[in-house]
Chains A and B, each alone.
Chain A
Amino acid sequence: MAAVIDIPFCVAGGIRSVADAEDVLNKGADKISINSPALGNPGLITQLARRFGSQCVVIGVDSREQNGDYDVYQNSGDPDKISAAQRRTTDWIKEVQDRGAGEIVLNCMNQDGVRKGYDIRQLQGVREICKLPLIASGGAGAVEHFRDVFRTANVDGALAASVFHEAEIDIRDLKDYLTANSIEMRS
């Protein structure tokens, strides 16, 4: 991968230790993203930030709303193993931040895969306490959703996968649309 990619890239999944991270970074990745292993061992965030610098360390957070509260879930990649992590989302993001993470990807599970727009309310709440770059994830289905999340939740990035992979939205068209709507970015 590193041989053909000419922009920064982040490797997510399977990183459980400093040695795992070092291996991936030495192979040319710019950042590593960890999710469930950080919940199991929050000290790993501290170790990774000290060893490689905060700019390398991205923490993915899967968050689901229930009865008005947002809670963190772990192992969400596997329907058989997914479980509540017994942490409030904002508490966990504060801890992650204090431990030296460099970036947060917040996956709003209620919206994920639905393509009805990002979870603006949740993202606004997290934005208030999150001083790190915050990337919105879950819910993108149309170009307007990207505009809305940048404008109203003040996020630093908006993640989407399926709408690009299935060619529902063309990245060039999206960038032109956002530029026309005064959202600053690399063209």
Chain B
Amino acid sequence: MATPVAIIDSGGANIASLLHALERIGVSATLTTDATVIETAGRVILPGVGAAGDAMQRLREHRLIDVIRGLKQPVLGICLGMQLLADASEEEDVECLGVIPGVATRLPAETGFPVPNMGWCPVEKIAEHELLTSVENGSYFYFVHSYALPIADNTLATARHTDTFSAIVGLDNFVAAQFHPERSSADGARLLRSFIGMGS
């Protein structure tokens, strides 16, 4: 039987917190690098902690590049996973999956704005999307990142460091969040629930 949610094992620690977050909303998930499991899953999540180059290398080794590009079910990228769905990352100039247009750029470090940007930031919705129906404008989500996608046509919500950047993007069946919904308390759980309900 196909798994309700496949979490792509892109390497790095702290996948445990995502599995726990899904358990708390009553969703069972499978951590996998198996192409068939991913292709047949009801939903796919691409998490990521660490460096873009390492994660892309891992996806390549498991022959998952074209598998991910071809997915038709709802797909959620989280944190580095969001950047992996983009065209490229400035981090070691890595070419990424190219599913969502844009290049992840490094956050500028300024006094009072450390990099990595770490902590709770308010998120402003700038477009309507079923992922965001249960999230109030200005809700706080938990961020840990040094790179971000600039605001573009596919931006659904923004957050601010020295400049505003894309907090959530969406294109067709692909959505992605720069923050960690699995660590963002009740609002994070609401967003994950909306993702599970997408298209149904």
Q: Which of A13-32 contact B (CB under 8 A)?
A: 22, 25-28, 30
* Chain A residue nearest to B20 in the complex (CB): A3
Q: Which residues of A contact B185 (CB under 8 A)?
A: 6-7
Q: Which residues of B contact A50 (CB under 8 A)?
A: none
Q: Which residues of A contact B140 (CB under 8 A)?
A: 186-187
Determine whether B23 belongs to the interface, using a CB cutoff of 8 Å to chain A.
yes
| A7 pairs with B183, CB closer than 8 A | yes
Size of interface on B: residues with Cβ below 8 Å to A? 26
| B16 pairs with A26, CB closer than 8 A | yes
B interface with A by C-beta (< 8 Å): 13-14, 16-17, 20-21, 23-24, 111, 114, 116, 118-120, 122, 140, 142, 144, 180, 182-186, 188-189
Main secondary structure of the interface of A (DSSP, over half): loop
A-B contact count (CB 8 A): 58
A186 to B24, CA, bound (A): 22
Which among A6, A22, A30, A53 has the greatest number of chain B C-beta atoms within 10 A?
A6
Q: How large is the interface on A (under 10, 10 to 19, 20 to 34, 35 or more residues)?
A: 20 to 34
A83 to chain B, nearest CB (A): 32
Given contacts A6-B24, A6-B189, A187-B140, contact A28 B120 (CB under 8 A): no
**What sequence of 0s and 1s flags, for each residue 54-92 of chain A, a beta carbon within 8 Å of any chain B beta carbon?**
110000000000000000000000000000000000000
A133 to B111, CA, bound (A): 11
Given contacts A6-B185, A7-B142, contact A28 B16 (CB under 8 A): yes
